[in-house]
Amino acid sequence: MRAVAYTDVRTVAVREVPDATLEAETDAIVRVTSAALCGTDLHMYDGRTSAEPGLVLGHEPLGVVQEVGSAVQTVRPGTRVVIPTHLFCGTCVMCARGLSAACLRARAEGPGAAYGYAGMGPYRGAQADLLRVPWADANCVPVPGEPGDAYEDDFVLLADAFVTGWHAAATLAGVESGDTVAVFGAGAIGLLSAYSALLRGARVVYCVDGVDARLDKAGEMGAVPIDFRRGDPVEQIRADRARTGLPLGEEKLGGVDKVIDAVGFQARDREHPEQERPNQVIADAARLVNAAGAIAVAVGTRTGTHTPALARTATRTWLRRGERCSAREWRSGSAVPTTAATRCSCGTWSSPAGPGPA
């Protein structure tokens, strides 16, 4: 079968490799009809991992089941399926808790495994004609239709991109009906984060970027495009909010309720090194977010992790009516957030404006 394989730093090639085969009774073989590219693939492509030549890349597949093991019960040959990026057993203690990306059975060296990724298990990637899917009952998600239909490009987004954007908006940022939202970065994840925020009922969503095609797409989706090439994006957003009129009771705010960082460090540094510093988006987010708002980071493998540099709740205190309160009080809800805050995946809060270490 054909597959896209890593050959050297910034070099990939389509190679003939042995066909994927069933290795366990719980496996399925999927004929891949679409496999999206991911910014995470750049870690291998740019030589930042231990990837060896011959590694088959890709982890965002959509396809049709071709063969199943004797123990597979929920899918059959001919079933159209989308396959999550991280493969998992579905039954270990982490999977039972809903933390399938940290599955304890999928990789001997540690928790979590992925297709076509250096150091994440022995599993070949999905940019290939065929893909072996372990624990097929857990990892194959049936979807309707036929390969190549009008939903092909939409369904492939369910493997990774759309769920990343939805997780950033719905879970990490906690976007709710009536919220104002700013998304920094209008690549695939940024646009899908913005779209998810709109689906969640956001009153207005701003998309910050410097690429015309991306800004145009953001506008088509119903977001307000903000071009950072025209000046400070924070001031542009504040000016737009003032121009359109703030709702009653928000006159003293002027920022936004939720900010999502979906820029992506490597793409930013390589394409616009003079325009962005690694932490500039977080700095802008801290200036823009309203008091008690939330900042979420949705960039590749950082999705679902703490915001860099800001999430140090164990050593920070905050002011509460002029008093210092501990991180434990903050998390328990006995302390009311009074400054711009960052919500982390663990449910804790941190603040860039805190008075310093306890």
pLDDT at residue 218 greater than cutoff 50: yes
Give pLDDT, residue 271.
53
Residues 157 and 5: their CA atoms lie apart, in Å, by 22
Give pLDDT, residue 356.
30
Average model confidence (pLDDT) across the chain: 82
pLDDT at residue 275 greater than cutoff 90: no
Neighbours of 303 (CB within 10 A): 22
For the chain, percent of residues with pLDDT exceeding 70 = 78
**pLDDT, tens digit, for every residue of 311-351?**
222 222 222 233 333 333 333 333 333 333 333 333 333 33
Give pLDDT, residue 279.
67
**pLDDT, tens digit, for every residue of 163-179?**
999 999 999 999 999 99
Which are the contacts of 45, defined by CB distance < 8 A and separation ≥ 6? 6, 9, 10, 12
- Between CA 190 and CA 193, with CA 192 as vertex, the angle to 5 degrees is 60
With helix as H, strand as E and coil as C, how does the chain read? Answer: CEEEEEEECCEEEEEECCCCCCCCCCCEEEEEEEECCCCCHHHHHCCCCCCCCCCECCCCEEEEEEEECCCCCCCCCCCEEECCCECCCCCCHHHHCCCHHHCCCCCCCCCCCECCCCCCCCCCCCCECEEEECCHHHHCEECCCCCCCCCHHHHHHHHCHHHHHHHHHHHHCCCCCCCEEEEECCCHHHHHHHHHHHHCCCCEEEEEECCHHHHHHHHHHCCEEEEHHHCCHHHHHHHHHHHHCCCCCCCCCCCEEEEEECCCHHHHHHHCCCCCCCCHHHHHHHHHEEEEEEEEECCHHHCCCCCCCCCCHHHECEEECCEEECHHHHHHCCCCCCCCCEECCCCCEECCCCCCEC
State mean pLDDT over 106-117.
95
Question: Closest Cα to residue 285, out of 200, 216, 215, 182?
Answer: 182
State mean pLDDT over 7-18.
96
Kindly indicate the confidence band of residue 297, based on its pLDDT and cuts at 50, 70 and 90: confident
Residues 256 and 238: their CA atoms lie apart, in Å, by 8
State mean pLDDT over 278-300.
81
CB 284 within 8 Å of CB 149: no
State mean pLDDT over 104-125.
95
pLDDT at residue 188 greater than cutoff 60: yes
For the chain, percent of residues with pLDDT exceeding 90 = 66
Kindly indicate the confidence band of residue 219, based on its pLDDT and cuts at 50, 70 and 90: very high
State mean pLDDT over 114-126.
95
CB 20 within 8 Å of CB 32: no
Give pLDDT, residue 320.
29
Give pLDDT, residue 265.
55
pLDDT at residue 250 greater than cutoff 60: yes
Give pLDDT, residue 117.
93
Give pLDDT, residue 346.
31
**pLDDT, tens digit, for every residue of 37-91?**
998 898 899 998 999 999 999 999 999 999 999 999 999 999 999 999 999 999 9
Which pTM was predicted?
0.78
Kindly indicate the confidence band of residue 309, based on its pLDDT and cuts at 50, 70 and 90: very low
Cα atoms in the Cβ-side hemisphere of radius 13 Å centred on 143: 25
Give pLDDT, residue 166.
95
154-163, 265-274, 276-285, 333-342: range with lowest mean pLDDT: 333-342
Residues 218 and 226: their CA atoms lie apart, in Å, by 9
CB 44 within 8 Å of CB 23: no
